[in-house]
Amino acid sequence: MKLSSTAILLAIILVDQCLDAQARVSAAERRKTQEIKTRKKNKQKNKKKKNGSTTSYGLGLMAGSFPAGTVMGSIMRGFQQQKVNIDGAERPSMEKFAYTSGSSGGNFPNMIFAYATNTTSDEILDANGISDPSKLTKEYLENTPQTSMFSAFDSPLILSLALAYFESFLTGVPFWSNFVRYQFLKPFGISDEPPSTTRDDVKATPIFLTSIFSPLETYPASLFIIGKLLQQNLNKSIDMLTEFYDNSTNMVFMPAGSDIVWDLIRESQFQYPLPVLMTADEIIIPAKKLNMTYGIVGNITSDPFLFEPMFAPPDEMQPDSEGPFTMSKMLAAGTALLPIFRAGGQYPEELMKALDSPLVLDVPTTSGDKRSMVLADGGYND
């Protein structure tokens, strides 16, 4: 009996769902063990602080889609290979960082490095592989070790894309969440159940940048309006930006709190994404107390959004209809490229409409209610 490709994909998805359900059951037991480890880690950190070691280092992993993921993973690999003295012992430099923070494509290696299971930091970063360019061969470059994070960027995307589309069709889970789970999480044993701590040889707390983009009721029309306003005002203000221009990189670098940035936001009628920081156990909106007033989008109006800086467990902002917050949603929110592609118009709108299911948080307001807000790629805040 011959099976169609659709039947095979459905069978794979059903088996995958069963395995995920089993994983969620055992995750509760693992979580208890991890909580004990977390308490031990915190005690060690507090002990260091008491002994006068208070300097913390962070590693920022920049945006740039899949190429940035490969480049940022390579930088992490270099740090892993270089040794430094930590508490009298020679250790990989990656262990010196207290935080790793990713934006857009930088979130891929950030997630895999911190949460890959049944592996080591050396293995996931291929730290023992060839680094001398003179010794690299075509065969070596064509055979990325499947145990390293770089295999996720080398592997064909077609199977993950197909599985993600069919599962989204069957379950209603956003396509991009399913895609990142199949391509970047499952190959490394990363469960959708948020862990209470990282792997033992990971010393940093990983942070993932995303953006509050617009109220759900105005999406996706707001996507095109905000993109257009920002581009128009960036073009008008190009003379103001020349002092921040870097000739070596052909890029503009501005302090996030500079007057120029706020002038651009004001000129864009404050239709501007707000940064959101996410960890496995906390969502942080670091903006000042704001009253966001959204313009009319077509014939749709949206009430003002008044909120204050906030810190909350992810499940407290998770829509009830979606169930518990997942690791795939966190990675998807930090790398949500589809809204950028859609706003840019590079791909047919009908295709983007079929794939771009909004990623939503129910964000508390100062009045005590919640607003459903759409998340977009953290690169919007770069």
Instruction: State the average pLDDT for the chain.
Output: 79
User: Which backbone phi and psi does 116 adopt, to 5 degrees?
Assistant: -60, 140
Cβ count near 105 (within 10 Å): 28
CA–CA distance, 73 with 69 (Å, rounded to integer): 6
Question: pLDDT tier at 274 (50, 70, 90 boundaries)?
Answer: confident
Residue 99 has pLDDT above 90, yes or no: yes
Taking the CA atoms of residue 302, residue 308, residue 311 and residue 315 in that order, the dihedral angle to the nearest 10 degrees is: -20
Number of neighbouring beta carbons within 10 Å of residue 299? 6
pLDDT digits (tens, 9 = 90+) for 23-63: 554 544 544 454 445 444 554 554 454 445 568 899 999 98
Q: What is the pLDDT of residue 183?
A: 96
Burial class (CB in 10 A: 0-12, 13-18, 19+), 358: buried
Please compute the mean of the pLDDT values over residues 162-191 and round it to a whole number: 94
pLDDT band at 203 (very low <50, low <70, confident <90, very high): very high
For range 216-234, the mean pLDDT:
67
Does the pLDDT of residue 256 top 60, yes or no? Answer: no
Lowest mean pLDDT segment, chosen from 74-78, 90-94, 173-177, 248-252: 248-252
Residue of 118, 123, 109 lying closest to 191 (CA atoms): 118
What pLDDT does 306 receive? 77
Sole residue written with tokens 């990983």: 206
pLDDT band at 377 (very low <50, low <70, confident <90, very high): confident
pTM of the model: 0.80
Q: Which residue has the higher pLDDT, 358 or 220?
A: 358
pLDDT for 289-346, tens place per residue? 767 766 655 566 667 777 788 889 999 999 988 889 999 999 999 998 888 777 777 7
Q: Please give the Cα distance from 202 to 292 (Å, whole number).
A: 38
Lowest mean pLDDT among 110-124, 256-270, 334-348, 354-368: 256-270
Q: Per-residue pLDDT for 286 more than 80? A: yes
Can you tell me the distance from the alpha carbon of 332 to that of 178, in angstroms, rounded to the nearest whole number? 8
Q: What is the pLDDT of residue 28?
A: 47
Residue carrying the six token digits 């006068």: 52
Task: Give the pLDDT score at 267.
Answer: 58
Q: How far apart are CA 58 and CA 23, in angstroms?
A: 32
Measured CA to CA, the distance from residue 265 to residue 272 in angstroms comes to 6
The pLDDT assigned to 381 comes to 60
pLDDT of residue 273: 75
Sign of CA dihedral 191, 163, 378, 222: negative
Q: Tell me the mean pLDDT in the region 268-278.
A: 73
How would residue 84 be classed by pLDDT, with cut points 50, 70 and 90?
very high
More confident residue, 47 or 132: 132
Model confidence at 253: pLDDT above 70: no
For the ranges 107-116, 160-169, 256-265, 343-352, the lowest mean pLDDT is seen at 256-265
Distances (CA, A) of 348 to 338, 343, 351, 375: 12, 11, 5, 22
Other C-beta atoms lying within 10 Å of the C-beta of residue 379:
25
Query: Given this model, what pLDDT does residue 91 score?
Result: 95
Helix (H, G, I), strand (E, B) or coil at 373: strand
- Distance between CA atoms of 8 and 3, rounded to whole angstroms? 7
Rounded to an integer, the average pLDDT of 354-379 is 86
pLDDT band at 132 (very low <50, low <70, confident <90, very high): confident
**pLDDT of 244 higher than 70:** no
Contact 98, 205 (CB under 8 A): yes
